[in-house]
Structure 1
Amino acid sequence: MTIAVLGAGAFGTALAISLAQRGPVLLWARDAAQVAEMRESRRNDRRLPGAVLPEVLTVTDRIEDAAGCDIVLLGVPMQKMGGFLSENAGLLDGKVLVSCSKGIDLATGRGSVALIEAACPGALAAVLTGPSFAADIARGLPTALTLACRTDAPDLQARLSTPTLRLYRTTDTIGAELGGALKNVIAIAAGVVIGANLGDSARAALMTRGFAEMNRLAMKLGARPETLMGLSGFGDLVLTCTSLQSRNFRYGIALGSGSAFDPGVTVEGAATARAVTGLARDHGLEMPIAAMIAALCAQKISVADAVTALLSRPLKEE
């Protein structure tokens, strides 16, 4: 049956283009005007300039069109995921629902798998995450991602793999979700370092200590250490802390340099930093980098004060 991708942002569009290599795909967008443009031009220049939509990819603004699809990829921003699932539970319950968003829900402190299971208890919940940029996927450049599902799902892995998109599966949904969410916070911090002209050595130190923070929280919440060492953790961290294609990294550069940043661009790491700070407090964990990023994003502290606070922490063993 046809696979549906709900959400025609850059990543959702790119996944739909890649999956169309295997057969028909349905791509849904809420904005009827955007859908009309995409049908006419066979492009999504609003979100993914230059990428061409294959003929087997059907674009619609009618979410009901996904009723006949057994696998549904959710390309909805994390902070809108809970509401979207509740609003469309009647349509989505009983299907295979694959979240393609990275973050932690501010309202509940949950990841996307828990949100799916709460709103659609009859669905099989999974998450697709890892080091990837939409433009690379759309161009057919080799990309490897993690597919996490509480139940081992080799059939789903096979359905969502393409000649240029290689999936590795795991049952550690907590680790996969947290790796994808927490690396965005560290990517903002890495951008702050570069934007403030603190140098590549400082960025390397920041990434290393940030990875330690990621592991600290993930292990506390039940993740497996090998998951964080894989694509959804270490792999995604390296990518987003070193490339200007990363929205979180670019946002951090703007913070560090005092430059303006497009308010229309979704930066999941900003909300995740707030959520992480609360989780760390609840579990008695120290996550100083995440705390500083949450404060910076909320304009409660200056870059200079944040750097001073981190560098003045007590010396300790690694």
Structure 2
Amino acid sequence: MLELLRARLLSLLRVPPEPAAPWGAPGSIRVFRAARNFYRLRLFRWIVGQAATATGIVFSLWFLSDLKAGVDYYKNEAPPPAVQPAAPGAASPATSQVITPRPTPRRPQLSPSGLPRELDQQARQLARHTPRWLFPAIGLFEFGSVLLYLAQLPITYGVLRLDFEQRWYIVTDRSLRIRSGLMSVQESTMSFANVQQVTLTQGPLQRLLGIADVRVRSAGGGSGDAHEKGQDDSMHVGVFHGVDNALAIRDLILERLRSFRAAGLGDPDDRREVTSPVVSVPPPAASSSEEVLAAAALLLAEARALRQTCER
């Protein structure tokens, strides 16, 4: 069932199948994938983010419930009884009827320390001017937020899993190819003729899980300081994210890079330019030997005549 849903989702998103190998000898193709711990690391970050969102929703529900109770208290609170002065000739207070105020509902505790008198008066005025439809509307919005949160859980988890499965790293003896992404597929190919630097980076959590990132920078990728700060240029930097054999991948790329340069092989486009047919212009035909001898004899005769003229 899960495989069927996975196949239909990939077909719906039009995700291409396994990428073709880049330029190079067929026997030199090496395919690498992201490690399982890389998926676990991203899953842990997803769980932390979802838990933080759920905590925020619960806190907002509690806050609105307590706020509504406070507003209801101020709305239903009876005004204090007015004290009437005693009329002349009236009965003494001992014989007069004692007026007891109507009991009021218990006021909810809005804060541990209570409210100051000035703030309490402002809260009473604000509560009496609050429309009755406000809290039902907020409650409806909160209910929709909870439903939306529950609905996105399987979707975001599925995207996380498929994004992990769609990471491909292919290395040949001439170039390398990296493909990643689900919603937006990114595929980059680098020839060893342009590769300038191969580095390995590993954070604390990656070190704990035994994974690392291999970064390959080609010509035009900028200074190394920018890459150390995380400002990578996707056009000139290829990253093998979350691999558990980072040292082997780095050594493989460096070894094939040395072999590539030792063999004197250039970029395939440059190679095609060199091997393209060249139309040569034939040199002009050389003079025959008889014409050369005749010209030499004529030149010798003129030299003798000039010598005789000078002697006279």
Q: TM-score, normalised by structure 2?
A: 0.16
State the structure with bigger RCO (CA 8 A, min sep 6), 1 or 2.
Answer: 2
If you compute each CA radius of gyration, which structure gives the higher value, 1 or 2? Answer: 2
